[in-house]
Amino acid sequence: MDSATSTIHHLPESILTEILARLPLRSISRLKTVSKTVKATLESMYFRRLFVSLHKNSSSSWSLGSREGDELIGFHGCKTWDLPKSLGSFISLPLGFEFKASSNGLVLIERYGCGCSYVGNPVLQQWVKIPQLPCGYCGVLGLVTRVDENGVVLGFKVVRIASCVMRNGHASYTLNMFVYSSETGIWTS
């Protein structure tokens, strides 16, 4: 065990929480893999509330832009005082992806042609691959998030509708709704 990790284990939890809550979000997201102690601290409700209270006026604002320069969605976590956004706040979609939906700072994107979907935070560049449905064509209806009283995202759901489902080798035109839950990791209909 290196000296930094050893020091972390000898700090009282309250002091560790106070130190970690003052770090930028990008740094915090990298620290979850340091140790079980740090991960547990970062996932605690107390830490989330403290982090939000310390950073409520400094959350970054960002805009997701298309390759053509259009703003697809803007997430404004702080006051801008009518100042223009900096160039660093504009985030381009990855090449070959299409914006589908957003909710509370999370974005749902889909790869052209293959139906692979990802939900993630474009600022942190952290993405979760959503499993494909076994049925035929499915359109995205939306992305819904569950947040706590401080606006911290606790989970999300992706909603899709299917208009054509293969049954016994034949196309059946029915309308079905499917919901993917980040909490269970499965699709339900």
pLDDT in tens, 15-67: 878 888 887 766 776 776 677 777 788 777 787 777 777 766 554 555 555 55
The Cα–Cα gap between 139 and 149 comes to 31
* CA distances, 61 to each of 16, 19, 80, 83, 119 (Å): 27, 24, 8, 12, 18
Q: Which residues of 119-132 are buried (b: 16+ CB within 10 A; e: fewer)?
A: bbbbbeeeeeebee
pLDDT of 106-121, one tens digit each? 888 888 777 788 898 8
For the whole model, what pTM was predicted? 0.55
Q: Are strands 97-103 and 90-92 parallel, antiparallel or unpaired?
A: unpaired
Task: Quote the DSSP letter at residue 44.
Answer: S
